[in-house]
């Protein structure tokens, strides 16, 4: 038996580099027809029956790839001894160390993949071999993730299918199978808290609550097949993939060279890595709970700059809130305040740009944007004052009108009484 198993593995290794046997591949786009699923569906043992039941949904099976595409053997034979003959390359359970090569036998073959999915890159295996998972697997660690760990072994769905374990909103749970296991991760020197921290982040909220599939999940920062934690020098590059304007602003700041000199990660220093919370103006400063205090102390130049940035932003926010309340109050009292609302939005946009300029750590650049916001707020404030003045005028006019009407009613009543006395 041992000899048969070894010969099967040897044949499988050979099969992995040669691609699937001709009889294992059907017409692209047409579901595979083989005896493997027919026989296994009739079995009572769930372990052997389930793969056959899942075949109907499997993207490979739907594209004409039979079970023999991975397991070898003869998918046309009704005789189990022939179908699962190790001499024909059959291997029942594929060892984890062989899984990447088996998948790569097709997925690394550009000519073969053109027949099925020309849009899928064919360098996944090469990337995997450079990943933390692939490097550990090469050293004989059979616990690390392989292709089947993330995509599944049977019933494999395309990543665009919302049921797929690699669909954007489900990736974190897929990674959590290993990375949420603190005891397992401890053996690799990983805290194991990364998943729970990520679930508190603004990225996870955007992905799962707002259903924003462009929001980053694990593989967007760490890579998919070439999964590797970003190093100190590459963190800002990873964040800058999405936060381009912030990265460009950071590159203008004195922090860029300072962080590089200290060999400290850039973005992560203020925003954290997995537990990325919505940034607040109140973070700026050297007081308790403020991020600048990690490197600067009260009285130094950095603290002075932080205070200037903080005042510029919070001063603008406070005025914007006051003006917004006046505009909304006037609107509730019946005034048309569309132009003021547009000015408030313009001021908000200028404030957003000012917050982006915070990454330059340049008070002049931040001040230029907050000054723009303040100037527009001044115009909106005038609109609010004009509306309030108009409301006062209308209110006073209404009171005068009521007095006149009241006097007219009284006069009319007196006139009627006089006429009645005469008659």
What's the confidence (pLDDT) of residue 285? 95
Count of positions (residues) in the chain: 423
**Which DSSP string do the residues of 127-191 spell out, in sequence order?**
HHHHSHHHHHHHTT-TTS--HHHHH-SSS---TTSTTSTTSGGGHHHHHHHHHT-HHHHHTTT--
Q: Is there a contact between 288 and 213 (Cβ–Cβ < 8 Å)?
A: no
What's the confidence (pLDDT) of residue 19? 60
Instruction: Give the other-Cβ count within 10 Å of 35's Cβ.
Output: 20
- Angle between helix 244-251 and 254-262 (nearest 10): 80
What's the confidence (pLDDT) of residue 115? 87
Does the predicted TM-score (pTM) go above 0.75?
A: yes
Phi, psi of 412 (to 5 degrees): -65, -40
Question: Which tokens go with 141?
Answer: 């660690």
Kindly report the three-state secondary structure assignment for every residue of 322-358.
Answer: HHHHHHHHHHHCCCCCHHHHHHHHHHHHHHHHHHHHH
Domain positions in the chain are 301-418
What's the confidence (pLDDT) of residue 23? 65
Instruction: Name the stretches of the chain with pLDDT < 70.
Output: 1-23, 230-234
Residue 320 Cα distances to 317, 358, 391, angstroms:
5, 19, 22
DSSP, collapsed to helix, strand or coil, labels residue 297 as coil
What's the confidence (pLDDT) of residue 22? 61
List residues bridging with 88 in a β-sheet.
none
The continuous run of DSSP H or E covering 245 comes out as helix 244-251
Cα 366 from Cα 79, distance rounded (Å): 77
**In 3D, which of 368, 358, 372 has the Cα closest to residue 245?**
358
């Amino acid at each position: 038996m041992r000899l048969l198993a070894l010969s099967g593995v040897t044949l499988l290794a050979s099969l992995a580099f040669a691609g699937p046997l001709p009889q294992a591949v059907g017409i692209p786009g047409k579901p595979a027809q083989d005896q493997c699923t027919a026989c296994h569906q009739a079995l009572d043992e769930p372990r052997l029956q389930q793969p056959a039941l899942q075949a109907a949904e499997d993207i490979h099976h739907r594209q004409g790839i039979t079970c023999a595409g991975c397991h070898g053997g003869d998918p046309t034979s009704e005789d189990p001894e022939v179908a699962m003959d190790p001499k024909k390359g059959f291997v029942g359970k594929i060892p984890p160390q062989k899984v990447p090569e088996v998948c790569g036998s097709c997925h690394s073959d550009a000519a073969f993949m053109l027949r099925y999915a020309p849009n899928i890159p064919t360098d996944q295996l090469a990337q995997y071999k450079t990943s933390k998972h692939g490097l550990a697997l090469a050293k004989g660690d059979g616990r690390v993730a392989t292709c089947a760990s993330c995509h599944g072994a049977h019933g494999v769905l395309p990543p665009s299918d919302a049921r797929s374990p690699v669909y954007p909103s489900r990736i974190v749970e897929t990674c959590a199978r290993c990375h949420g296991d603190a005891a397992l991760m401890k053996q690799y020197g990983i805290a194991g808290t990364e998943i729970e921290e990520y679930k508190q982040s603004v990225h996870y909220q955007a992905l799962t609550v707002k259903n924003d599939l462009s929001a980053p999940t694990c593989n967007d920062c760490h890579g998919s097949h070439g999964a590797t934690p970003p190093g100190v020098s590459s963190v800002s590059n990873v964040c800058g993939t999405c936060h381009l304007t912030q990265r460009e602003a950071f590159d203008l700041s004195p922090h860029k060279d300072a962080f590089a000199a200290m060999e400290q990660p850039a973005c992560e220093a203020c925003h954290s890595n997995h537990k990325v919370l919505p940034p607040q103006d109140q973070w700026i400063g050297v007081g308790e709970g403020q991020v600048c205090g990690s490197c600067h102390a009260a009285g130094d130049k950095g603290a002075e700059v932080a205070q200037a940035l903080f005042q510029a932003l919070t001063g603008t926010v406070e005025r914007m809130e006051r003006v917004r309340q006046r505009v909304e109050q006037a609107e509730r009292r019946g005034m048309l305040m569309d132009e003021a609302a547009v000015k408030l939005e313009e001021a908000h946009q200028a404030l957003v740009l000012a917050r982006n300029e915070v990454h330059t750590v340049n008070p002049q650049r931040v001040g230029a944007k907050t000054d723009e916001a303040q100037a527009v707020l001044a115009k909106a404030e005038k609109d609010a004052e004009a509306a309030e003045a108009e409301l006062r005028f209308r209110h006073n006019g209404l009171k005068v009108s009521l007095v006149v009407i009241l006097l007219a009613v009284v006069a009319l009543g007196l006139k009627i009484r006089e006429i009645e006395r005469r008659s």
